[in-house]
């Protein structure tokens, strides 16, 4: 959760220096108010929240989300809820007007440095131009089922992604087919926005480009620990690199 709040602060303020970035009692708001839904984020931050506090925070988070123009996600980490609250999460979220979108897993590991990666099908290009950012955005849009314009609204024009993120495209015959980034945050590398074109999945491309981002990030920073949030679909890949699962997490959107 702390890694999310730290990394998303930078991502959201890069997108809009006037973005809604607040740390409220029990809730962190990181809301760029753009069409790229991942940059519109609210997360619960109380440790050991019981069922009553959880229900209160879900209602508060939903109210914040209703005040916004663009859709976004509420992130809820299981390990921040006490044992009595966890089985009640789904019903409490429904009462707050929230809909479960998908689940994932937080992962971490003292795994760096990793060997320099290679894949027989791929060459790697570091993101450094708006053309690269557009390709990176389009890969994420296709992978997560968003309009291309939404992904571009989140990334094209970003200075941070050209200079502060170790972001790489995996190119097959000169065409971008996969991407991954790693950014320094509180003494760790945080892996962000890994995506593969759905037409080229299950070929090891996502793992190869993630290894490339970690390899270059570790070489530049000297860091040895990395963290990430994996979707259920992507989660099986990361233990092969050396990540270990920790807290399950859930993403919610507002109901219609």
Domains belonging to the chain, first-starting first, are 2-104 (no CATH), 123-223 (3.40.630.30)
pLDDT in tens, 54-104: 999 999 999 999 999 999 999 999 999 999 999 999 999 999 999 999 999
Q: What is the pLDDT of residue 237?
A: 95
Long-range contacts of residues 233-241, Cβ cutoff 8 Å, at least 24 apart: 234/194, 234/206, 235/104, 235/105, 235/107, 237/206, 237/207, 237/210, 238/107, 238/210, 239/107, 240/207, 241/109, 241/111, 241/114, 241/207, 241/210, 241/211, 241/214
pLDDT in tens, 206-223: 999 999 999 999 999 999
pLDDT in tens, 231-249: 988 899 999 999 999 989 9
The two beta strands, 40-44 and 73-77, are parallel
Q: What is the pLDDT of residue 165?
A: 98
Distance CA 230, CA 129 (A): 27
pLDDT in tens, 16-29: 999 999 999 999 99
Residue with tokens 């314009």: 149
Helix-then-strand count for the chain, H and E: 7, 11
Q: What is the pLDDT of residue 156?
A: 97
Grade residue 188 by pLDDT with cuts at 50, 70 and 90: very high
pLDDT in tens, 115-173: 999 999 999 999 999 999 999 999 999 999 999 999 999 999 999 999 999 999 999 99
Q: What is the pLDDT of residue 103?
A: 94
Q: What is the pLDDT of residue 232?
A: 87
């Amino acid at each position: 959760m702390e890694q999310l709040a730290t990394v998303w602060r930078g991502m959201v303020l890069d997108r809009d220096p006037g973005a809604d970035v607040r740390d409220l009692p029990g809730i962190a708001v990181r809301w760029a108010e753009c069409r790229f839904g991942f940059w519109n984020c609210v997360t619960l931050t109380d440790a050991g929240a019981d069922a009553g506090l959880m229900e209160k925070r879900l209602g508060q988070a939903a109210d914040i989300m209703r005040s916004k123009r663009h859709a976004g996600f509420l992130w809820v980490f299981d390990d921040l809820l006490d044992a009595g609250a966890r089985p009640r999460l789904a019903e409490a979220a429904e009462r707050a007007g929230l809909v479960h979108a998908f689940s994932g897993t937080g992962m971490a590991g003292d795994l760096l440095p990793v060997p320099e990666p290679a894949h027989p099908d791929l060459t790697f290009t570091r993101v450094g131009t708006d053309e690269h950012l557009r390709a990176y955005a389009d890969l994420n849009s296709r992978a997560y089922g968003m309009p291309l314009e939404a992904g571009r609204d989140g990334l094209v024009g970003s200075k941070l992604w050209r200079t502060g993120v170790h972001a790489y495209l995996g190119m097959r015959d000169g065409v971008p087919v996969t991407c991954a980034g790693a950014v320094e945050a509180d003494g760790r590398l945080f892996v962000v926005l890994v995506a593969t074109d759905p037409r080229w999945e299950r070929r090891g491309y996502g793992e190869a480009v993630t290894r490339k981002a970690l390899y270059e990030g570790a070489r530049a920073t000297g860091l040895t620990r990395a963290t990430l949030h994996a979707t259920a679909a992507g989660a099986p890949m990361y233990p092969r690199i050396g990540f270990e699962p920790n807290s399950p997490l859930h993403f919610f959107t507002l109901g219609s």
